[in-house]
């Protein structure tokens, strides 16, 4: 599942798990763009099982399946 | 923590600290004492470039131009019973990191990806107090599979060990063992309460006695004073590790250190220079946190300020810069990558 910018399909912040429509997520985005893989499912906010390896990451939501990326996560 | 006003900078009894360090560290190869390291850490920011320049000269003279490249991977992530206050993998905190195990196929794949970058070291890490039978079994299978397919030195970081486990890892051919003291002995109880600094020290002594290389470093920016940072540098020097990985705190959500600030770039770079001047011959490695603390420019300054090793690619739970970016940086800086079986 590729990260998407759609706030309706993906209403939650993948870093902090809160609603993207509420609050300021600038710091969350900076972390996702530099040092953190997504930790929360952007569709349902569940905490995901994340595995980081030298070249990428995979993140699995028990409800919405697996996503994967290389460096940096952009919603 | 920021550097202080020059007028209040304590001078070493022997004169200006960088002049003393030039003679003592560069010429004679003797690391700085605790008071001397503190004097470097207290230098004003205007003298940062000079300190980094001297640290670079020391590294070139005593270690050479080669850079040791390493990749790391988390074999067992999260769910750790310990309470290291910086760590998102402790099961005692409300961290978003969930437990996960890497299978042997992915471990081998990670080693291959690491070797492709020209790295000579691949470190297998587990979030545990110390290994149990299941983890030792997984490590054994993983190392055998890597050795069959990938030409790279294998290191491990599996927490505190028993003598039996030390012997077993040495027999498996583990080249280097990482176990960080993390911070100064006097600051350790503010960082970890479920085990002691001395327990960590004991594991390190057993590792050395078994003939494995010792890798031991820590994290800068965990609320330690400059005095404690200087204390840590000389405690590491006393240990005489083969490698010191320097991390900069990434304040992780849910951990007791989530509220701490990311260390300032100038402060971090002065620490790099000071640690090199305390440890003239050690492999000094840039590890986690440099992306937030230093950015791209600061990483280059560090490579020209005493650092002679890097972790490329991602870390355990955090992402790093793409390996190509670091390899390009080394090429631009005309720093050759250390070849397999060379010693620094
Ligand atoms: S022992 Fe290691 S994995 Fe466990 S909490 Fe401490 S630093 Fe994290």
So what's the ipTM on this one?
A: 0.86
B216 is in an annotated binding site: no
Strand partners, A56: A53
Cβ atoms of residues B257 and B95 within 8 Å:
no
Domain boundaries along the sequence of chain B: 61-332
Residue B291 with chain A: CB contacts under 8 Å? 34-35
Cβ atoms of residues B39 and B280 within 8 Å:
no
Question: Which residues touch B299 (CB under 8 Å, ≥6 apart)?
Answer: B286, B290, B291, B321, B326, B329
Tell me the mean pLDDT per 10 residues along chain B, length 344.
Answer: 44 78 97 98 97 98 96 95 97 94 95 94 97 96 96 97 97 96 98 97 97 98 98 98 97 96 96 98 95 88 96 92 91 92 60
- Conformation bin of residue B150: beta by default, left when phi > 0, alpha when psi is -120 to 50: beta
The structure's pTM equals: 0.92
Residue A38 with chain B: CB contacts under 8 Å? none
- A16 in contact with B at a CB cutoff of 8 Å? yes
- B120 in contact with A at a CB cutoff of 8 Å? no
Interchain contact, A71 vs B319, CB within 8 Å: yes
Q: Rounded to whole angstroms, what are the CA distances from A27 to A14, A30, B126, B289? A: 12, 5, 29, 16
Strand partners, B285: B245, B309
Of B74, B292, B313, the CB nearest to A55: B313
B84 is in an annotated binding site: yes
DSSP B102: -
Interchain contact, B291 vs A35, CB within 8 Å: yes
Cβ atoms of residues B283 and B311 within 8 Å:
no
Task: Give the model's confidence band at A72: pLDDT under 50 very low, under 70 low, under 90 confident, else very high.
Answer: low
DSSP B15: B
C-alpha B256 – ligand 1 centre gap (Å): 13
User: pLDDT tens-digit profile of A6-64?
Assistant: 667 889 999 999 999 999 999 999 999 989 999 999 999 999 999 999 989 999 999 99
- A62 in contact with B at a CB cutoff of 8 Å? no
Which residues between 318 and 337 in chain B have a beta carbon less than 8 angstroms from any beta carbon of chain A? Answer: 318-323
Cβ atoms of residues B71 and B123 within 8 Å:
yes
In total, the C-beta contacts within 8 angstroms joining chain A to chain B are 76
Q: Where are the beta strands (DSSP E) in A1-75?
A: 49-53, 56-61, 65-69
Residue B69 with chain A: CB contacts under 8 Å? none
Architecture of the structural domain at B61-332: Alpha-Beta Barrel (3.20)
Nearest-10 crossing angle of helices B163-171, B133-149 = 20
Which amino acid residue places its CA nearest to atom 3 of ligand 1? Answer: B127
Cβ count within 10 A of residue B7: 6
């Amino acid at each position: 599942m590729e990260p998407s910018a759609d706030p309706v399909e993906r209403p939650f912040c993948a870093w902090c798990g809160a609603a993207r429509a509420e609050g300021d997520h600038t710091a969350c985005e900076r972390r996702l763009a530099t040092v953190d893989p997504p930790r929360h499912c952007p569709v349902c906010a569940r905490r995901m099982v994340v595995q980081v390896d030298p070249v990428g990451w995979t993140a699995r939501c028990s409800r919405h399946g697996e996503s994967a990326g290389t460096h940096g996560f952009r919603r | 923590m920021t550097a202080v006003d020059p007028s209040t900078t304590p001078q070493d009894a022997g004169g200006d600290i960088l002049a003393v360090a030039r003679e003592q560290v560069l010429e004679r190869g003797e690391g700085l004492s605790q008071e001397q390291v503190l004097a470097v850490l207290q230098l004003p920011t205007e003298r940062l470039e000079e300190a980094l320049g001297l640290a670079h000269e020391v590294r070139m003279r005593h270690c050479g131009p080669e850079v040791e490249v390493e990749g790391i991977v988390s074999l067992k992530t999260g769910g750790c019973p310990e309470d290291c206050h910086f760590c998102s993998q402790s099961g005692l905190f409300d961290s978003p990191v969930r437990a996960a195990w890497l299978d042997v196929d992915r471990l081998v794949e990670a080693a291959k990806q690491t070797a492709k970058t020209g790295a000579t070291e691949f470190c297998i890490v587990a979030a545990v107090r110390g290994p149990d039978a299941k983890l030792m079994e997984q490590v054994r299978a993983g190392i055998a599979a890597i050795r069959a397919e990938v030409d790279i030195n294998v290191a491990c970081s599996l927490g505190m060990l028993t003598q039996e486990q030390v012997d077993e890892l040495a027999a498996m051919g583990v080249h280097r063992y990482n176990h960080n003291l993390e911070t100064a002995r006097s600051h350790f109880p503010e960082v970890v309460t479920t085990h002691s600094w001395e327990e960590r020290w004991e594991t390190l002594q057993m590792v050395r006695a078994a003939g494995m290389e010792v890798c031991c470093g820590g994290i800068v920016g965990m609320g330690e004073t400059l005095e404690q940072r200087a204390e840590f540098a000389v405690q590491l020097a006393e240990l005489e590790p083969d490698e010191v990985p320097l991390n900069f705190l990434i304040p992780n959500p849910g951990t007791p250190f989530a509220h701490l600030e990311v260390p300032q770039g100038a402060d971090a770079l002065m620490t790099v220079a000071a640690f090199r001047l305390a440890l003239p011959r050690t492999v000094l490695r840039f590890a986690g946190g440099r992306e937030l603390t230093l950015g791209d420019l600061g990483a280059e300054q560090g490579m020209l300020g005493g650092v002679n090793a890097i972790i490329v690619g991602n870390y355990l739970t955090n992402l790093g810069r793409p390996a190509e970016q670091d390899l390009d940086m080394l090429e631009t800086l005309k720093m050759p990558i250390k070849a397999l079986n060379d010693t620094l």
